[in-house]
């Protein structure tokens, strides 16, 4: 098995309404449960104030800010991409998952 990082994006971010937040978290928890032993680390959501840093300084990330990550086991990129297709991030506006293989070090 190989490790893959799912990096999540959504135009909506975290819902302000408590009931909507609870429903969103229930969907994510169900999906994580469905992943079983493929899930290594459910990760965390990110606050909406990320910064892009380079040698010239830092600036707020304005286009496609990452909203969170998870780490999963899969045999290859095709399986990881297939697993990502059921992600609850697609329930929101502009939901997207970027999949990266984590190389061993």
Summarize pLDDT for 24-81 with one digit per residue, the tens. 889 999 999 999 999 999 999 898 889 999 999 999 988 888 999 999 999 999 999 9
Query: Residue 12, exposed/middle/buried by CB under 10 A (0-12, 13-18, 19+)?
Result: middle
Rounded distance between C-alpha atoms, residue 47 and residue 52, angstroms: 14
Q: What's the Cα-to-Cα distance from 96 to each of 5, 6, 37, rounded to whole Å? A: 13, 10, 23
Strand-pair category, 51-54 with 57-60 = antiparallel
pTM, two decimals, is 0.88
* Number of domains comprising the chain: 1
Question: Does residue 20 sit within a domain?
Answer: yes
Average pLDDT over residues 4-9: 96
Question: Does residue 53 sit within a domain?
Answer: no
Q: What's the Cα-to-Cα distance from 86 to each of 12, 102, 105, rounded to whole Å? A: 18, 21, 29
Question: Does residue 59 sit within a domain?
Answer: no
User: Range of 23's domain?
Assistant: 2-45+66-102
């Amino acid at each position: 098995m190989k490790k893959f990082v799912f990096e999540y994006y959504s135009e909506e971010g975290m819902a302000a309404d408590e009931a909507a937040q609870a429903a969103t978290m229930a969907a994510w928890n169900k999906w994580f449960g469905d992943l079983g032993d493929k899930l290594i680390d459910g990760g965390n959501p990110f606050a909406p104030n990320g910064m892009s840093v380079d040698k010239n300084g830092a600036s707020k990330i304005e286009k496609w800010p990452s909203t969170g990550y998870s780490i999963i086991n899969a045999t290859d990129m095709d399986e990881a991409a297939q697993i990502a297709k059921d992600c609850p991030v697609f329930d929101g506006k502009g939901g997207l998952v970027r999949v990266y293989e984590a190389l061993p070090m």
